[in-house]
Structure 1
Amino acid sequence: MHPSADFDTSSLKSYTVSTSRTNLDVRKSNWTSLWFANLIQYFCGLQMSLYFTSMWPYLLKLDPTAQLPFFGIILASFSIGQAVGSPIFGTWTQKTESFKVPVATGLVFCCVGNILYGILPTIMWEVQWLMLVSRVLIGFGAGNLSALRAYVAASSTLEDRNTAVSLATGSQVTGMLTGPILQTAFAFIGDGVRVFNTFDLDAYTSPAFVLSIVLIIMAVMIFFYFSEDYAGVIDEKKEDSDVIIPPFDRRAAVVCIFLWFVIQTIAVNIESLCSVFTIAMYNWTSHQAIVYGGYIETASCALSVSQYLVIGLTRVGKIDKRIQILFGCIVFCIYYVVLLPWPFYPESLLYNPNVTDGACTYEWCQYVPKIPFIAYILVYVLCFGIAFPYIGNSIGTLFSEVLGPRQQGTMQGVFAFFGSVGRCAAPLVTTFFFNSSGYTWVSVEMLTFLIIGALSTCIFWKQMIPLELIQKKESISNNNNHKV
């Protein structure tokens, strides 16, 4: 697809708002709607990780015969549902040019999934399969993140785009990081009570019921707080526009999608291996791994949130997005380089295949050195706390700018789809590597992805820029006449 002959392609340039009848320079971002969209994205991110620390004990309580392999499928089912839902919701918004109904529908699916998760003790029939169904429904509903990303891009002006996308991405990531912390807050309920002699309100089910209520309230509020006046979109069919929106550069879009796939893979690797890694590496019990891991995660989360605020609200966010992406890749690489089995690490692992907790039980424990504890703590908190904001925010913002001031629902759906594919595939590959050879090949795998991502950014440096619009030939002539 190429610009029409009616347009002067030699005038290809970055959009100058002062000379365009699209009036982008006088439009204003609706921050009430954008902040509400951020709140929804927070809860969508929250649902990805809220049950991670409690789901296995909950499943064992419901069915003591449950096995880890099927539990792994349950963990992946959220991402499977999201992979299906993301392109559907994205295309829906693209076709209808409306966000209210698609986003509200996604929240309703999440609500139904959470209610099903909470009433499993009442049903007590095929609970493993019903838990899987509940997670698929929640994941499918959370596919409305693609619609929300497109909404943020459509509703923010070019001037506000960086801040809007930074806060939106930060909201989702904050939800993902605080999920396990909020689950811990419900632990004081313990065994809880049985309401109406039917429903159990305990540490496992209460978060699901509370979240369901919140989601329904937000689904209703969408119709009152979502403005569909798109400050960041040029509709050439409806507007007296003096510019044409050319096709976006597919190479730049593919690089952004690949980088999003990589950081989602990194995120799920952390979630799936954190406890297992520390148990094997530092002889922690399962309880210690959850508690101490929570402390470490909280510190990393706090640093990450602070960096999102810095990016969104200070001049740091104005730094070239490509530079921020390379910076994030380098910081991630530092973490995985530290986790390589360097021969100068002095200590060995405690190998004991006869126990199930508090020791390293894998064959590779006999020859793989122990990562120094201080080094692990520092790189985990600092590298993840810093890298995620800079690379995650930059990819989201740059992808939106590469697509240009058009409706982005379908492409944001594709963007979210590949992120979900990463979250589905990573646990399977990572678990295989970890069981067979420890953390070595996991680190090599992620270093390879990061290096490919960084090199791709450098190779397509000139293409990874905001979309350049084409000024109409007649508009150029008019401007020249005015000058005369």
Structure 2
Amino acid sequence: MPKADKKCILKEEQTSIDEQTTDWASIYVASVLSFVGSAQFSIYFSSLWPYLQILDSSANETFFGYIIAIYSLGQIFSSPTFGYWSNRIKQVRLPLFSGLALMFIGNALYIVLELVTFPRKYLMLVCRCITGMGSGNVSLLRTYASTASTDKDRPKAIAYVTCGQALGTTAGPALQLLFTPLSYPGFQIFDMLTINMYTAPAYLACSMNFLGALALYFLFKENYAGIVDEEDNEQQPENKKSMPVRIPPYDVIAVLVCYATRFTQMFINTNLETIGSPFAMMMFAWTETKAVTFTAAAQGAVGVFTFLTYLMYILLKMDKYLNCRVSCMISLAALILFHLVTYSWPFIPGNVVLHKNTEIYNFTEQHVGCNMDKFSWCESLRPVNVYVYYVAYIVVIGLAFPTLNITLTTLFSKILGPRRQGTQQGVLQMSGSVARMVGPILISILYSAYGPRMAWHMEIIIISITLLLWCFFYGRMVPLRSVLQLDTIRVENGKAEGGIISVKSNGRIHPSGDEDKPTTTTSTTVTA
């Protein structure tokens, strides 16, 4: 091929990369859909247990635990399945529609729970499983944000989608409060269905799923700025087939470290939510009402810090000042610091308030503190300062968790490289779902048998192991070296005749493997 033609091919390839831009309109739609999917889980938090008692009084706390866990079990199966399906058909639209349809069906079955004659608790179990399976499409939205954005826009795009997910989780309980005035049994429609404080969230969820499907159909477009498709070369004109695109394999160890980190993140988050109120009642000698009130207030404050963290990444582009690897490690270290600060150290003066079931008290008062008849570890437990605990909880959890959401997902997408990431992103989501399922079981067993100290030990060990993995494999936690291999290329300056051409464009490809300094200029480097 003449020199001029080969130089022309290089220019055309370089121009095609330069022209790729982030489709922000579709990113915004993905953020809204992420909100819709996440709200399906949290919108039932406060109403699920009392409604189960109304529907079937034989359902106990153990069966309720199954209902909570089966939502995550549905995600465990659906997240990688949706991802693999997306990779096979090279689109996210159809799997996203399927996820919305499953969530709609699950919530519609929840509405008709009162109409069935067989044991309703089993239908509620099926409802939550189907809804959980549908919510597995959230991983596809992170996949789209990762592959539809250029390298320099990726932290911002992922921040939008993960912010939508966080807001959905936070707003769910608040949306439930709007329906409390409907009370129970509410009122009937069509002489069959009822709208009350328990079924109204399901109607809202069905409406959100339907509107989300409309937005997906009319407003969402699949434009990928972060994918290099190796098969596209076969469809190119003959004069361009001498320039095939080769994407190297990704680092499996780095991917596994990301999976472990997501597991750790969700494991800690779920455990703290699980024992939040019981811990406060025992440690600070609060009544149930006071514990629920302060825990809810703390969650609200965490939500504010979380939202501010996302704003910093969206508006101030924090990734420019602190790279993803360092941010992940600082977040993990902060979680260890939280557990050390809130640990019941033996040298802390005093003791937690103690009580026994056999003590006589009037009906206007409640037993508060640690139940010595129930727990053998009460007498040795030292009181944690309430202000230290909640300040540490709000600041550390409110900053570390959203930072991990953004930076881990961003770095994970770069480690995989400019390829379709549906399956891998699905497994990343699955690792978090596994943590959400097994975490409450393990923490409840340890907490009941050995107290909060042993629960804290377990969490410190898991976080420390994850942080050590980051330290040991720090040099491998970098973006994939993406290269374009050109066959029989003669460069005019005579430096190389054939070899590997690395094209850097808009910070999207980093031949050096260094994610600390994204490239903003376009250049062509030849490796002989």
Shorter-chain TM-score above 0.5: yes
Gapped regions of structure 2 (runs ≥ 5): 1-9, 234-239, 359-365, 498-528
Q: Distance in 1 between matches of 2:399 and 2:62?
A: 33
Are 1:261 and 2:271 counterparts? no
**Structure 2 counterpart of 1:3:** none
Amino acid at match of 1:83: I
Pairwise CA distance, 1:298: 0.5
Retained in 1: the 8 A contact 2:79–2:430? yes
- Decide whether aligned partners of structure 1 residues 480 and 104 sit closer, same or farther in structure 2, where only a CA change above 3 A counts: farther
Matched, 1:342 2:345: yes
1:156 is the counterpart of 2:149 = yes
Q: Which residue of 1 aligns with 2:236?
A: none
Change in CA separation of 1:415 and 1:269 when aligned onto 2, cut-off 3 Å: same
Q: Is the 8 A contact 2:29 2:215 kept in 1?
A: no
Q: Partner of 2:421 in structure 1?
A: 408
Give the share of equivalent positions with the same residue, in percent.
Answer: 31
Tell me if structure 2 keeps the 8 A contact 1:18–1:25. Answer: no
Task: Work out which of the residue numbers 454, 462, 479 in structure 2 matches 1:466.
Answer: 479
- 1:221 maps onto 2:226 in alignment: no
Match of 1:376 among 369, 386, 389: 389
- Per-residue displacement from partner, 1:423-449 (whole Å, max 9, x unpaired)? 111111111011111211221111111
Report the equivalent of 2:282: 280
- What is the aligned partner in structure 2 of residue 231 from structure 1? 225
Partner of 2:188: helix, strand, or coil? Answer: strand
CA contact (8 A) 1:81 1:136 kept: yes
Q: Which amino acid aligns with 2:333?
A: I
Corresponding residue for residue 321 of structure 1: 324
Contact 1:50 1:183 in 2 (8 A): yes
Residues 464/188 of structure 1: CA separation in 2 closer, same or farther (3 Å cut): same
Q: Are residue 432 (structure 1) and residue 425 (structure 2) matched? A: no
Specify whether residues 180 and 358 from structure 1 end up closer, same or farther in structure 2 by C-alpha distance, changes over 3 A only: farther
Gap change, CA 1:328 and 1:204, over 3 Å in 2? same
Provide the secondary structure at the position in 2 that maps to 1:244.
coil
Match of 1:114 among 82, 107, 126: 107
Query: Could you tell me which amino acid in structure 2 is paired with residue 143 of structure 1?
Result: G
Q: Secondary structure at the match of 1:200?
A: strand
Contact 2:227–2:419 (Cα < 8 Å) also in 1: yes
What does 1:70-469 correspond to in 2, within 5 Å? 70-123=63-116, 125-191=118-184, 192-239=186-233, 243-318=245-320, 319-354=322-357, 358-361=368-371, 362-363=374-375, 364-469=377-482
Q: Distance in 2 between matches of 1:40 and 1:211?
A: 12
Equivalent residue for 2:526? none
Deviation string, structure 1 residues 41-88 (Cα, Å, up to 9, x no partner): 112222222212221112112222321111111111110000010011
1:212 partner amino acid: C
Choose the corresponding residue for 2:40, options 36, 40, 47: 47
- Cα distance in 2 between the residues matched to 1:22 and 1:347: 70
TM-score by length of 2: 0.84
Q: Any idea what the Cα deviations from partners look like across 1:278-335, whole Å, max 9, x if unmatched?
A: 2222233333333322111101111111101102321422221110011101111122
Deviation at 1:181, TM superposition (A): 2.5
| C-alpha distance in 2 between matches for 1:298 and 1:281 | 21
Map of 1:9 onto structure 2: none
Do the aligned partners of residues 435 and 379 (structure 1) sit closer, same or farther apart at CA in structure 2, a change above 3 Å counting? Answer: same
Task: For 1:28, give the aligned amino acid.
Answer: T
1:288–1:121 distance in 2 versus 1, CA, 3 Å: farther
**Bigger shift: 459-468 or 471-480?**
471-480
Contact 1:345–1:369 (Cα < 8 Å) also in 2: yes
**Cα pair 1:279 1:357 within 8 Å, conserved:** no
Judge conservation of contact 2:346–2:381 (CA < 8 Å) in 1.
Answer: no
Q: What SS is found at the alignment partner of 1:472?
A: strand
- Which 5+ residue runs of structure 1 have no aligned equivalent? 1-16
> 1:457 is matched by which residue type in structure 2?
W
* Alpha-carbon shift at residue 399 of structure 1 (Å): 0.4
- How many residue pairs were aligned? 468
Query: Which string of whole-angstrom CA distances, capped at 9 and with x for unpartnered residues, describes residues 193-247 of structure 1?
Result: 2333322212211111111111012113212222122111111221455642100
Query: Cα distance, 1:23 vs. partner?
Result: 2.4
Q: Deviations for 1:251-297, whole angstroms, at most 9, x for unmatched residues?
A: 11111111011111112112222122222222333333333221111
Asked whether the equivalents of residues 243 and 469 of structure 1 are also in contact (C-alpha less than 8 Å), the reply is no
CA RMSD after TM alignment: 2.2
Amino acid paired to 2:74: G
| Bigger Cα displacement from structure 2, 31-40 vs 305-314 | 305-314
Q: Deviations over 1:343-386 (max 9, x none)?
A: 23334223334298744334122321222111111011111001
Aligned residue in 2 for 1:8: none
Shift in CA distance, 141/365, structure 1 to aligned 2, threshold 3 Å: same
Partner deviation per Cα, 1:2-52 (whole Å, 9 max, x = no partner): xxxxxxxxxxxxxxx989447222211111111111111112222222212
Taking a change above 3 Å as real, the CA distance of residues 475 and 260 of structure 1, as seen in their structure-2 partners, is: farther
Whether the 8 Å contact between 2:355 and 2:368 is mirrored in structure 1 is: no
| Cα separation, 2, equivalents of 1:357 and 1:216 | 48
Q: d(CA) in 1 for partners of 2:43 and 2:291?
A: 17
The 2-side partners of 1:479 and 1:389 are apart by 49
Q: Call closer, same or farther: CA 1:21–1:111 in 2, change over 3 Å.
A: same
* Whole-angstrom distance in 2 between the partners of 1:128 and 1:210: 22
1:133-164 CA deviation, whole Å, 9 max, x = no partner? 11111110011122222111221112211111
Greater CA drift, 253-262 or 173-182:
173-182
Structure 1-normalised TM-score?
0.91
Q: Secondary structure at the match of 2:222?
A: coil
Quick check: 2:159–2:406 contact (8 Å CA) kept in 1? yes
Q: How does 1:64-75 map to 2 (within 5 A)?
A: 64-75=57-68
Conserved? CA contact 1:193–1:200, under 8 Å: yes
Q: Cα distance 1:483–1:455, how it changes in 2: closer, same or farther (>3 A)?
A: closer
**How many angstroms does 1:177 deviate by?**
2.5
* SS class of match (2:474): coil
Higher deviation after alignment, 131-140 or 267-276: 267-276
Structure 1 Cα separation of the partners of residues 277 and 489 of structure 2: 62
